[in-house]
Amino acid sequence: MSQLPKPRAAAKHERSEQQDRRYFLKTTAAAGLTSLATTKVVSAADGSRQLTGAVIGCGGIANHLLGHFMETERCQFAAVCDVDSRRTAAFADRIEKTLGKRPDIYKEFERVLDRPDIDFVIVATPDHWHAPITVAACLAGKDVYCEKPCSHNILEGQAMVRARDKMDRVVQVGTQTRSAPHMQAARDFVRSGKLGVISKTRTFNRGQWGPTGFGKWSDQSPPKEVDYDRWLGPAPARPFNPKRFHGSFRWFYDYAGGILGDWNIHLQDIVMWTMDAPDPVSVSAFGGKYLIDDDRDTPDTLEVLFEFPATEDRPPLIHNYSAVLALSPYNHNAHTGVGIEFYGSDGQLYTNWDDGWYVAGAPKDFRKPEPWNPKRETRIESFEKPSTGRAYGLHANNFMDCIENRQRPAASIEKHNKTCTAIHLGNISYRTGRRLYWDPVRVACFKDRELTIPDTGANQLLSREYRKGYGLPTV
């Protein structure tokens, strides 16, 4: 059995947002949130019921997740499902080799959900299938581990939350960094108040695509092993193209949200989780395909500004996401690939996957300025090594703990959907070419801060037109 640290299950009744904001600056690092990595994991080897799972969507991330789930020795897999029979065969072979029993193979996820012996499903399909399958799974009484981002659009995410609430299911989203010990330690540091007043945060990506990207490919017939109509599902009918399919589907708005939905969903989730950020007041995005000449319809260069409202603990918060996907590898170093930054009056915290986290100190109290001291301004206050590799196993264990005790998981659909809503608004702003003002109560975009002029074009992108036979289940 893998010797993973033992995570704590989430609190049964989450604090109200008002209570949580009061907690924000009163908590010390020593008395802060208990790390998921330090508390008890009950495994099947300890005598608990072994859970039965199924994998729906057998691509690369599912292959990674499957290994971590099997390492826990807390579950078996009775079924695998994918529209590509090559993938299900490979998954079935791996499960049989590792666990000693071959799972059943399906192309239709509905047949998996009909099985009474399935406790949970891992939904690791392309993004445009996440919500329909997760909603259907909840309505069928299954618990769900859904890969990020949870939805293709804003109204889908709200339907997922309603389905979870209606059926009282456990829905964990695959933003595994919430379970990374070094990310939790960085969050505790920020929430301790040691950075002072935080008014800005930043996340960024620096990619290394060449000028031709993934190229331009002709449409062709789909592989004989693939049910392509079912792969398209809710998305518009289009000829099969290998670059709109496995691996690169995420660069097309029909199926996903580009770099915002692929990467910034992880990064901004840490920011919004740490800052207890509510829905944004406004979102403004601009960029384009300036550098890469391929068939994608999502940008290679992007800047997004999110304006979050003030709370009783802090002033309004500005969050900036910055992405450029065509840097030369010779311009790349450990601190330019991906990152999360918190800017406080008393210091700045930086964290990412590979470098852990550190804090650069600044004057102790910006309201009482002292003579400039370069040593103090560049002082490194804290450092924690990365632990992202362990996060997948910890996240899986947390999910299975919550299946057993019916508590909320580390990355619950309710919390994740706030981040996902902000990400979708960023893409809508980019696609409409204007700043959006968001009303979470009316679930609508407006053209003015007073929320009196509806933005019809933006509001049309809050959902999508579903192909006949592939609509979102009604909750």
Rounded to whole angstroms, the Cα distance separating 438 from 285 reads: 14
Instruction: Give me the pLDDT at residue 13, please.
Output: 34
* pLDDT tens per residue across span 398-430: 999 999 999 999 999 999 999 999 999 999 999
**Would you say residue 413 lies in a domain?**
no
Question: What is the rounded average pLDDT of the residues 235-264?
Answer: 97
**Would you say residue 131 lies in a domain?**
yes
Closest CA to 126 of 31, 60, 38: 60
Instruction: Transcribe 39-105 into DSSP letters.
Output: S----GGGTPPPEEEEEE--SHHHHHHHHHHHHTTSEEEEEEE-SBHHHHHHHHHHHHHHHSSPPEE
**Would you say residue 282 lies in a domain?**
no
**Would you say residue 207 lies in a domain?**
no
Q: Give CA angle at 298 (297, 300), nearest 5°.
A: 120
Contact present, 57 and 123 (Cβ < 8 Å): yes
Exposed / middle / buried, residue 293 (Cβ in 10 Å: 0-12, 13-18, 19+): middle
Kindly report the CATH number assigned to the domain that includes residue 52: 3.40.50.720
C-alpha gyration radius of the chain = 22
**Would you say residue 191 lies in a domain?**
no
**Would you say residue 397 lies in a domain?**
yes
Q: Which of 9-13, 148-152, 354-358 has the highest mean pLDDT?
A: 148-152
pLDDT band at 365 (very low <50, low <70, confident <90, very high): low
Residue 165 confidence (pLDDT) above 60 = yes
pLDDT band at 384 (very low <50, low <70, confident <90, very high): confident
Q: Could you tell me the pTM of the whole model? A: 0.87
Question: What is the rounded average pLDDT of the residues 383-387?
Answer: 74
Beta-sheet pairing, 198-206 with 338-344: antiparallel
**Would you say residue 44 lies in a domain?**
yes
Dihedral sign from CA coordinates of 154, 69, 276, 305: negative
Rounded to whole angstroms, the Cα distance separating 172 from 170 reads: 6
pLDDT band at 393 (very low <50, low <70, confident <90, very high): very high
Lowest-confidence region among 74-88, 254-268, 365-379: 365-379
Question: What is the rounded average pLDDT of the residues 125-154?
Answer: 98
**Count of the separate structural domains present in the chain:** 1
Q: Provide the domain limits for residue 130.
A: 17-179+390-408
Contact present, 386 and 351 (Cβ < 8 Å): no
**Would you say residue 239 lies in a domain?**
no
Instruction: Give me the pLDDT at residue 363, please.
Output: 53
